[in-house]
Every structure is written in structure tokens, then in C-alpha cells.
Chains A and B, each alone.
Chain A
Amino acid sequence: MNLLALIFVAILANNIVLSQFLGICPYLGLSRKLETSVGMGLAVVFVMTMSAIVTWIIDLFLLQPFSLEYLRTIAFILIIAGLVQFVEMVLKKTNPALFRALGIYLPLITTNCTILGVAILNVQSQHNIVETIVYSIATGVGFTLAMVLMAGIRERLELATMSSYLKGAAVTLVSAGILSLAFMGFKGMVAL
């Protein structure tokens, strides 16, 4: 598959949140305000790309030669948890401004299923290293796009009058459904 199609599919046609249902927890939890959703989005792009590269290398040079594929889940989650800690420490020392911006989102990312999901998807669909990097960045951008769109909708929803039973998560899910309906329109544009 050429890279442009890969980017298009990852951001729009097969959006990680709205059509693959990964990362729903931060999507519902952190999309209340525009700033937090941008911060979380950037943190995800950053960690997702790093972890995808590292897990890809480990898979190719450690797990596959020794046919240890059955350890993939355990190995990947350990790498991601370690990597997040490492990134946190490095950022704190070298780039305090970025650390302050991403700081509170980093620990949450370990249990964000998009990170592990993309690492596994990259290996399962046998992407090479370039495709892995491009796919991870594009998926992260798609996640950010979905977060920012949702934050915009939710800022309006705060002011809307509705039944008290629907307030909060219920109406957010229904709006996500309508958003996802809009994204479905991109499906036919690229043959997967």
C-alpha cells in the first residue's frame, strides 16, 4: 500500500477512535475541554510513534528469530510501560516546557489501549519500518482530530438543555455516534 493511502486510511477512513474503537476511555474522559484534548493528542502521537518503533525492532530482532511470538502481549506492554517512564524522565530533564504540557497525560498513556493496539497492528499487518512510523504518526493525528472535534461539540453541549438522565457520558456517546457516521463517508474513497 502506498504511504499516502496509509495516511488517509489511518486519519479518516479508519479512524482509530471512531471506527476501530480504541482509546475510548481517554476519548470520553479528556475531551471536555479543547486544551486538554490537544495536550492528550500530542502526548499520544509522541508516545505512540516511539513505542511503535521500539516494539517493531524488538519483534523483528528478538521475538521472531527465537519464535517467541506468543510472548508478544507481555513483551509489548512491558516495553510501553518502561518507555513511558523513560520519556517522562528524559522530558523532565531536557525539555521542561514540553514536560509541563504533556506531564499529566503521560502516566495515563500506559493504559491507553491505542498505544498497545497500534504496536500490535503494525506487527500484525507486517509494516516495514517506514510504514510503521508513518502509520503511527497518522493514527495519532487521527486520534487528536477525533478528540478536538469532540471537545468542540462538548463545549456546545454544556449549554444545551436536555434530560438529566442523558447528561454526561450518554449524550457524548450519541454525539460520537453521529461523528462516526460522518467519518464513515470516507470509507469508500480508498480500497482497504
Chain B
Amino acid sequence: MSTLAQEFSKGIFKENPTFRLLLGMCPTLAITTTAFFGFGMGVSVLAVLLCSNIVISAVRNLIPDKVRMPAYILIIAAFVSATDMLLNAYVPDLHKALGIFIPLIVVNCIIMGRAEAFARKNNVVRSILDALGMGVGVTISLTLVGIIRELFGAGSIFGFNIMGSAYEPMMLLASPPGAFITLGILLGLCNFAFKRLGIE
């Protein structure tokens, strides 16, 4: 049995959903044109994951094994709808930018994956820590990709101009091909770093 601290930290490094498990790739590629959008998507995923993990681990003994998938999907979909409406009400700009990827959090494999692999076997406290760790891991990864693409694609980070006015933005990194290439290279660097640090 791993300690509670390990439960939290595994999602950030060892089992980072984006860079290690390759889950939830669609939003990672689609909405990371700026650091802020990446951060916003990460926090939305964190919120849905936290709520669904709490509920699923709390009712884990009540749901019959055969119908667990539809039950999980319903629970997740309810929280996604709530997130959708909250974002629309309080941060309409972000809501507009994330667009179709907010309802699509329902089919984000990170959330379903944690429900299936963790929340249905562990108690509420552990599930909360697991969700927080995984959610923070996703947020860091998405923000990182966003920072790189925004820095080279627009010359700024979180909207603050970094590169100066003489910088000619690389349009490629802001466009769809840039997303694939940035993530591919980051993944390679991550493999390299993890190998060097001795984490498998």
C-alpha cells in the first residue's frame, strides 16, 4: 500500500497522464495555442476528475459491476455539464475558446481511466489525492505545451509580451501541425529526462 503522499505525487511525475500514459491527447493538442487556454482546460479537467472520483469512490459498493460503465459516464457527464455552465457564466472568453472540448471532457480517457483503475477500488480520501495529483499533472502538462506554443507562436506567455516587438512569430506553432510537432518533441524529451533520472 503506497503512502498518501505517493498517491498524490504519482500523477505529476511517474504516471503523468499526458506525458507518461498518453491519455487525453485531444484537448492537449487542440486548445494549447496559448498558456491560458491550456491552464483553463487543465483546471476544468481537474475539477471534473476530483468531483467524479469523490462520488464514484463513495458509491463504489452500491453500483453493480455489470452496469458500472454507464453509471460512471452518467456521473461524469453531470459534472461536465455543470462545468460547462459555470465556465459559460464566469469566464465566457475561455468557454468560447475551449468550445466543443468542454462537453468532450465526458469522453476524456483520463477521467474514465481513473474511475475504472482507481476510484472504484479505493476509499474517498485516497481517491481525492489521486484526482488532485492527476489533475495537477494534466494542468502542468497542458500549461507547459501552451507556454511553448504561445512563446514561439505569438511571442508572449499568458498574454505578456516576452520576445519584444522585433520578434517575428512562428505561425507554424500556433497552427494544428505545430501542436503535433511540439507534443512529439516534448514526449521525446520527457522519455530522455525520465531515462536519465532513472524513473521507468
Inter-subunit contact A180/B177 (CB<8 Å): yes
A120 within 8 A of B: yes
Chain B nearest CB: distance from A108 CB in Å? 11
Closest 5 CB pairs of A and B: A177-B180, A173-B184, A174-B184, A21-B30, A177-B181
Check A28/B22 contact, CB under 8 A, given A74-B81, A81-B70, A117-B104: yes
Inter-subunit contact A25/B109 (CB<8 Å): yes
Q: For the complex, give the distance between the alpha carbons of A44 and B7 in Å.
A: 37
Choose among A28, A113, A170, A175 the residue that contacts B104 (Cβ–Cβ < 8 A).
A113
Interface of B is mostly: helix
Inter-subunit contact B81/A70 (CB<8 Å): yes
Inter-subunit contact A169/B187 (CB<8 Å): yes
CB-based nearest A residue for B25: A24
Interface of A is mostly: helix
A112 within 8 A of B: yes
B residues contacting A by CB (< 8 A) are 22-23, 25-27, 29-30, 69-70, 73-74, 77-78, 80-81, 84-85, 100, 103-104, 106-109, 112, 172, 175-181, 183-185, 187-189, 191-192, 195
CB-based nearest A residue for B182: A177
Inter-subunit contact B184/A78 (CB<8 Å): no
Inter-subunit contact B107/A170 (CB<8 Å): no
A residues contacting B by CB (< 8 A) are 18-25, 28, 70-74, 77-78, 81, 110-113, 116-117, 120-121, 124, 163, 165-166, 169-178, 180-181, 184
